Amino acid sequence: MHKLKNKIKGCLLGVAAGDALGMPSSMMGPDEIERRFGEIRQFLPAPEDHLLHRGMVAGEITDDTQQTLAIADSIIEEGRVDARSIAQHLIRWGEEYGIFNTNIAGPSTLRALNMIRNGRSPEESGNVGDTNGACMRIAAVGIYGYGDLQRTLDSVEKACKATHNTNIAIAGASAVAIVIGKALQGEKDIDVLIASALEAAALGMLRGNIWYGASIEKRIRLAMEIVEKAPDRKSAMRDIYDYVGAGVQISETVPTCLAVLKMANGDPLETIRIAANLGGDCDTIAAISGSMAGALGGAKLFPDSWIRTLENVNNINFDHYCDQLYKIITEE
């Protein structure tokens, strides 16, 4: 497989594998995860009493990957990142999966998409979105940005407009997207990638509707300090969970995802395994950190059995998405 295609496919596999691995432990604390599962290292079904995912089978993805692919579909259809097209693809996804009368989708996304369905414009529907939906589905936008800072920032702003058009959401999503793009370009140094994330977050804060929240930049720095000073991985994981947070706020999610990437030194499987056992919004944190690590390591680092499971259980053709996104970024 072509080197760039391997990385694009790895990015998308990282989203899906992280999502599926973190699905059964999502919305649990670290102590409960350890009590129920010991350590999650393979795809597992959701527990029968799971708050959100009961009935889901091993390897099944959640809305994290579904929305990521909805945005990828929009980019492939348009040949670019278009705010209105993304809004319509997300609404189509929501209608297909019946999310408008459930709590499956995140609060910012659900509120904004309902506003659009009721006649509001995408330019006004996302003005208070500050949760991690902005970054959990940003992988294809990061691929489209391909490591160019201006192109990435512009594309992220458009992708966020309908549901998360706030400075804090754009900042967080830009940090993730630039790491993906730089990894596609061939950057392998985690510290260089973290520096790129910090720069993109700072510039992202100048865009969108001004909204309140903890500083993503400062929390990234705090997260890196925690990881570097921790005596071992388990201590680092617990301190990240306790001090940075693993909830749905983007100011928690993005620094935590970058910390997980740092802990695993960019290894895709270790990255998503750490995230799946971390506690909190495990599927989303594993999907986001997996997207970055997958872009770093490429598809070849994922076991064939995992890829077959993800494709068969969820009816996804990763090669289709890989080929189409590759074509867009190399033929412009």
Question: Domain ranges in the chain?
Answer: 3-331
Kindly tell me if the per-residue pLDDT of 239 is higher than 90.
Answer: yes
State how far the alpha carbon of 127 is from the alpha carbons of 118, 130, 201, 245, in Å: 16, 9, 18, 24
0.85 surpassed by pTM? yes
Query: Helix 268-278 vs helix 282-297: angle between axes, to the nearest 10 degrees?
Result: 170
pLDDT bucket at 173, cuts 50 / 70 / 90 = very high
Average pLDDT score, the chain: 95
Instruction: Collapse the DSSP code of 54 into the 3-class scheme (helix H, G, I; strand E, B; otherwise coil) and give the result.
Output: coil
- pLDDT by residue (tens digit) across 9-18? 999 999 999 9
What is the DSSP track for 176-238?
HHHHHHHHHHT---HHHHHHHHHHHHHHHTTSSB------HHHHHHHHHHHHHH-SSHHHHHH
Residue 29 CB-density burial (10 A; 0-12 exposed, 13-18 middle, 19+ buried): middle
Tell me if 302 sits within 8 A of 43, measured CB to CB.
Answer: no
pLDDT bucket at 5, cuts 50 / 70 / 90 = very high
The letter for the amino acid at 142 is: G
Average pLDDT over residues 302-318: 98
Residue keyed to tokens 């059964």: 24
Kindly tell me if the per-residue pLDDT of 129 is higher than 90.
Answer: no
Look up the CATH number of domain 3-331. Answer: 1.10.4080.10
- Quick one: tokens of 331? 């033929």
